[in-house]
């Protein structure tokens, strides 16, 4: 990989296009950190989803502002507001970006968007064999089986930014720590004495069967661990279905779905002994705060999205021809999920709980 220094001359205005959900955004933090270190005086504008406002505010040491992307045909993260497109492009061009970096997929769709921002230089990823219209000077070929964290760091190095630290991070402010302490006092949650279970995921095709989560949770509770259920408010029904059999079995499980902001969830996880979840954004939160996890990956691309530390974060996945899956609902009986049994997951949970808690370690390249 021969570097092409897109940072010479040093840009004063940089756009980073990454219109993805929270967990995907967290995987870009090491690259954003490297970009800021290489261009400390540049004004960096994140172009992302409306929900990235919290991300931009939380990582203001790396990102100066958010420009909301209105969506476009072919981008599944949000409905395309084509009526807002002319206003968006006009607003983007008023920034007079010196450099626009595409960090949203292979570039097959996103490079066309980045080119419309009017930047003096464009960079990012391009399809390995397809012509997306980019001149290739500052574009890396997209490698489908590459870790998302390492991919973006490789791009930074290619563009001339020294990038060696792959550690995730997630700042937690004093108010969020205080909110965690209130929850801990209210529900009696001593640090390292409880296990968090996050049974939800944005797409049903990414969810391990709820009855298997319930069976697993009962076994963990019977082993003497307190169970804490986490999730967004829209996942409250899932949590209630999981909570009922637990309490019927005598467990004093705690349901915190819908009761935590992102920062409070991060503080909660930082004091948990273990997180058990589907392959969704919360797994990256756990990695960012250094909490061990057991991840049941149904349909997702584990090579791309699995945490880098395979010892601390155990990922269970069943290889199948239709993986990775882009469907919201599985139409063939969900074989990738059903192939992973409760005994399989409990074995990894038991091993993780038997190990001494370890401090968060950096990943230097």
What are the residues whose beta carbons fall under 8 Å from the beta carbon of 266, sequence distance 6 or more?
A: 170, 172, 176, 285, 288, 289
Picking from 261, 308, 307, 253, the residue whose alpha carbon sits closest to that of residue 280 is 307
Looking at residues 306-312, what average pLDDT do you find? Answer: 92
Looking at residues 185-195, what average pLDDT do you find? Answer: 96
CATH: 3.40.1390.10, 3.40.640.10, 3.30.110.70, 3.40.50.2000. Which one for 174-354?
A: 3.40.50.2000
Q: List, for residues 38-66, the tens digit of each pLDDT value.
A: 999 999 999 999 999 999 999 999 999 99
Q: List, for residues 214-268, the tens digit of each pLDDT value.
A: 999 999 999 999 999 999 988 888 888 888 888 877 788 999 999 999 999 999 9
Q: List, for residues 3-27, the tens digit of each pLDDT value.
A: 568 888 999 999 999 999 888 999 9
Share of the chain above pLDDT 90, in %: 68
13-159 shares its CATH topology with 174-354: yes
Q: Are 285 and 292 in contact (CB under 8 A)?
A: no
Fold (topology level) of 13-159: Rossmann fold (3.40.50)
**What is the per-residue pLDDT for 135?**
59
Picking from 231, 197, 203, the residue whose alpha carbon sits closest to that of residue 298 is 203
Q: Where are the domains of the chain?
A: 13-159, 174-354
**What is the per-residue pLDDT for 361?**
52
pLDDT band at residue 133, thresholds of 50, 70 and 90? low
CA pair distance 339, 330, nearest whole angstrom? 14
Looking at residues 123-138, what average pLDDT do you find? Answer: 75
């Amino acid at each position: 990989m021969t570097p092409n220094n897109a940072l010479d001359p040093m840009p004063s205005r940089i756009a980073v296009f990454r219109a993805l959900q929270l967990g995907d955004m967290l995987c870009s933090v090491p690259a954003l950190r490297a970009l800021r270190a290489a261009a400390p005086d540049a004004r960096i504008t994140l172009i992302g989803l409306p929900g990235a406002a919290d991300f931009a505010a939380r990582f203001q040491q790396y990102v100066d502002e958010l420009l909301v992307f209105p969506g476009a045909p072919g981008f599944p993260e949000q409905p395309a507001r084509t009526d807002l497109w002319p206003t968006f492009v006009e607003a983007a061009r008023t920034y007079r970006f010196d450099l626009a970096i595409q960090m949203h997929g292979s570039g097959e769709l996103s490079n066309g968007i980045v080119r419309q921002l009017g930047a003096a230089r464009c960079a990012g990823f391009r399809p390995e064999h397809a012509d997306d219209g980019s001149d290739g000077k500052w574009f890396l070929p997209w490698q489908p089986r590459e870790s998302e964290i390492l991919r973006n760091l490789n791009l930074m190095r290619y563009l001339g930014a020294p990038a060696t630290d792959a550690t995730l991070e997630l700042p937690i402010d004093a108010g969020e720590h205080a909110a965690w302490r209130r929850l801990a006092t209210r529900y009696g949650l001593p640090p390292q004495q409880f296990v968090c279970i996050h049974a939800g995921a944005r797409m049903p095709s990414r969810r391990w069967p709820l009855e298997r989560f319930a069976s697993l949770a009962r076994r963990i509770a019977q082993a003497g661990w307190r169970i804490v259920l986490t999730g967004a408010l829209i996942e409250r029904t899932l949590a209630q279905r999981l909570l009922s059999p637990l309490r019927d079995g005598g467990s004093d499980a705690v349901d915190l779905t819908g009761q935590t902001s992102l920062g409070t969830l991060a503080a909660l996880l930082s004091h948990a002994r273990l997180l058990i979840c589907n392959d969704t954004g919360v797994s990256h939160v756990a990695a960012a705060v250094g909490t061990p996890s057991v991840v049941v990956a149904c349909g997702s691309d584990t090579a791309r999205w699995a945490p880098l530390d395979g010892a601390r974060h155990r990922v269970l996945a069943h290889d199948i021809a239709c993986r990775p899956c882009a469907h919201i609902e599985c139409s063939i009986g969900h074989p990738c999920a059903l192939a992973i049994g409760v005994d399989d997951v409990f074995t990894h949970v038991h091993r993780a709980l038997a190990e001494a808690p370890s401090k968060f370690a950096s990943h230097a390249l």
